[in-house]
Amino acid sequence: MTRLWAWGAFLIGAVFFALPLIGMTEFSLKMRRGVYSLDAYVKVLADPHFQQTFGYSTLMALFTIVFGVLLVVPTAYWVRLKLPRVRPFIEFITLLPLVIPAIVIVFGYIRLYNTSSWLPLTGTAMGTNILLMFGYATLSLPYMYRSVDTGLRTIDVATLTEAAQSLGAGWATILGKIILPNVLVAVLSGAFLTFAIVIGEFTMAALLDRPAFGPYLQVLGANRAYEPAALAVISFAITWACMGLIQLVTRFSKFTEAQR
Amino acid sequence: MAFLEIEHLEKSFGPTRVVKDFSLDIDKGEFVSLLGPSGCGKTTVLRMVAGFETPTSGAIRIDGKDMVHLRPNQRKIGMMFQAYALFPNLTVAQNVGFGLKVEGVDKAEINKRVEEMLGLIGLPELGSRYPFQLSGGQQQRVALARALAVRPRVLLLDEPLSALDAKIRVSLREEMRSIQKALGITAIFVTHDQEEALSMSDRVVVMHQGIADQIGTPFDIYNRPKTRFVAQFVGTLSILKATVIDPAKGEVDVAGAKVSGLDLPSGMAKGSALTLALRPEAVSLKGERGDVKMAGTIADVDFLGSVLRIKVTANDTTIAFDTFNDPSSPPPRIGDKATISFSKDSLLVLKD
């Protein structure tokens, strides 16, 4: 009887989750009257604005990931190695982007870095891009930090560091050749999550007026019928592909066993 | 001048002094063990030599050169850890060659040295494996090869055998010692296992509460312990309460038996109490050897296979001793009368 209830709950959940997706996918295939077709997808993919905004967001995601890795890996490593007492404090800081809305952060940025400020980043396109990248890095911080910190927990950071030091390695070698490769799966998990966040982010890109994929989605959604549904399906596919890749790198890591 | 000099080393963590005025000179090629219970400061001394801890005061010199101000990666000191500490992302060969790669040695030379080291530890065919594909004993062998590959000036061993099972531990300790001898490398070995320390070392440092209680050869440490702690920590022994009868003649009363000619500590007066100790192998049953005889009752018999550990109580003093198992005669029974004997020279006078 209990089992039946459990299956019932599972089915309701699955229907609640899957039905809108199925409906949306079905709608996206109905652009040509009376038959299913991929017309909406062809139209979207052929749209130069799609290519431009998707390319821009992908590039921004890559820069955000690189910046995030360079910021988070050494920080999480150092906190684990030398400052375990400040770990709760660092965890609290990394959680702040979850409770501070993106709109507040971006207004803060605009106020701090406007053209009349001491660092007028919003005065140029490049400056605004950099600002947006910092914003994305902030938004993805909770996920990136947690992924890396969990990865670091699976290895004996202190002993590996000391072993490398006794063999003559400096900090850069230790981080680059020992720590980073051993938490690479965790870093990739964080990277894929960052990618998914950046691709779908709207608020920051719109308020900083950058040609990102999120604002393009919104504009298209306001003016077209079938294309937004096709775009939403594409976005889902990208996010799910990221999730799948996380699973894949975890499963096929050559030395996963050793990390346990 | 000794090769490795440790002078008046002190280390405090906050208000706690974990190492107190520790001094030790080690010659080139010597194998010295730091032996002691948990929390005695032995690992802290080792970590200060390695550079992972900074001494509060004192000096560490290798070949006359000050080490205290050098970073760990500048000291050229090899280290083996209890937890193996092999790099999980690197193969065995890459692990062994890691230090050489960091040094900037060319690839052909690294390959040659790695091959040589894997041959030395008897695992020439495992170069392409990852650490997780090796047993604990194999991993620790690879850790030894990795530490030796860079030709360190000193090899530090931080309880490297503790995580291994008993049989592997014995075979690996013999192997480690023979490799150390063959290469003539200076080594400091930290352990809480007295058998390991006694069997492997040229000299043993017994540490207690941050102090080197005694430094000596394994033979001296075992047979001539200087403090009660050393006597009790190294090997098993029976503690005997004695009363001084004649300090000039070194005569005492031990459990009703008079023993003379002991080397008593200076300042002992007639009637003062004294603590003596006796190793189990110094005592024989049935009065077979020695000049001191005691009559008592069998209090306990432990059958350990080749050896019987027997406890005899004589005048409220319990003396434990070992005797070989004799298949032709059954072990004594609890409550039997027995006479034990031992040489007065085997009595250890303990200082607190």
Measured between beta carbons, which residues in chain A are less than 8 angstroms from residue B52? 162, 165
Residue A251: per-residue pLDDT: 73
C-alpha–C-alpha distance, residues A133 and A68, integer Å: 10
Measured between beta carbons, which residues in chain B are less than 8 angstroms from residue A254? 89, 130
C-alpha–C-alpha distance, residues B118 and B114, integer Å: 6
- Kindly tell me if the per-residue pLDDT of A252 is higher than 90: no
Residue A253: per-residue pLDDT: 66
Q: Select the more confidently predicted residue: A2 or B44.
A: B44
A209 touching chain B per CB within 8 A: no
Residue A258: per-residue pLDDT: 44
Q: What is the DSSP-derived secondary structure letter of residue A121?
A: G
Measured between beta carbons, which residues in chain A are less than 8 angstroms from residue B98? 164, 167, 169, 177
Q: Which of B72, B81, B132 sits opposite A257 (nearest CB)?
A: B132
Residue B3: per-residue pLDDT: 94
Task: Show Cβ contacts of residue B313 under 8 Å, excluding neighbours closer than 6 positions.
Answer: B296, B297, B299, B319
Confidence of residue B352 (pLDDT cuts 50, 70, 90): low
Per DSSP, the residues of B27-71 read: -TT-EEEEE--TTSSHHHHHHHHHTSS--SEEEEEETTEE-TTS-
Q: What is the DSSP-derived secondary structure letter of residue B161?
A: T
C-alpha–C-alpha distance, residues B118 and B116, integer Å: 6
C-alpha–C-alpha distance, residues B86 and B99, integer Å: 12
Q: What is the pLDDT of residues A196-209, one digit of tens each?
A: 899 889 999 999 99
Measured between beta carbons, which residues in chain B are less than 8 angstroms from residue A156? 83, 85
A85 touching chain B per CB within 8 A: no
Q: What is the DSSP-derived secondary structure letter of residue B125?
A: G
Mean pLDDT, range B300-311, rounded to an integer = 89
- Angle at which helix A102-112 crosses helix A125-153, to 10 degrees, equals 130
Inspect the interface and report whether the beta carbons of A163 and B81 lie closer than 8 Å: yes
Q: What is the pLDDT of residues B63-98, one digit of tens each?
A: 999 999 999 999 999 999 999 999 999 999 999 999
Q: What is the pLDDT of residues B248-288, one digit of tens each?
A: 888 898 888 888 888 888 888 888 888 888 888 888 887 66
Residue A101: per-residue pLDDT: 92
Q: What is the pLDDT of residues B152-201, one digit of tens each?
A: 999 999 999 988 888 888 989 999 999 999 999 999 999 999 999 999 99
Task: Show Cβ contacts of residue A208 under 8 Å, excluding neighbours closer than 6 positions.
Answer: A106, A109, A110, A122, A128, A131, A132, A135
Inspect the interface and report whether the beta carbons of A163 and B89 lie closer than 8 Å: no
* Sign of CA pseudo-dihedral A76, A82, A88, A94: negative
C-alpha–C-alpha distance, residues B223 and B226, integer Å: 10
C-alpha–C-alpha distance, residues B345 and B245, integer Å: 18
Question: Tokens at residue A209, please?
Answer: 């007026």
- Computed over every residue of chain B, the mean pLDDT equals 90
C-alpha–C-alpha distance, residues A76 and A224, integer Å: 45
- Kindly tell me if the per-residue pLDDT of A257 is higher than 60: no
Residue from A157, A166, A255, A257 whose CB has the most chain B CBs within 10 Å, to mutate: A166
- Computed over every residue of chain A, the mean pLDDT equals 90
Buried/exposed B97-107: b ≥16 CB within 10 Å, e otherwise: bbbbbbbebee
Measured between beta carbons, which residues in chain B are less than 8 angstroms from residue A169? 73, 98-99, 102
- Edge-to-edge strand list for the sheet holding B203-208: B77-80, B154-158, B186-191, B31-35, B203-208, B211-216
- Residues 103-122, chain B: which have Cβ within 8 Å of A? 103
Task: Show Cβ contacts of residue A139 under 8 Å, excluding neighbours closer than 6 positions.
Answer: A97, A102, A105, A197, A201, A204
A166 touching chain B per CB within 8 A: yes
A161 touching chain B per CB within 8 A: no
- Kindly tell me if the per-residue pLDDT of A118 is higher than 90: no
For residues B321 and B287, is the Cβ–Cβ distance under 8 A? no
Residue B322: per-residue pLDDT: 86
A162 touching chain B per CB within 8 A: yes
3-state secondary structure of B122: coil
Residue B288: per-residue pLDDT: 67
Among candidates B40, B123, B43, which has minimal Cα distance to B79?
B43
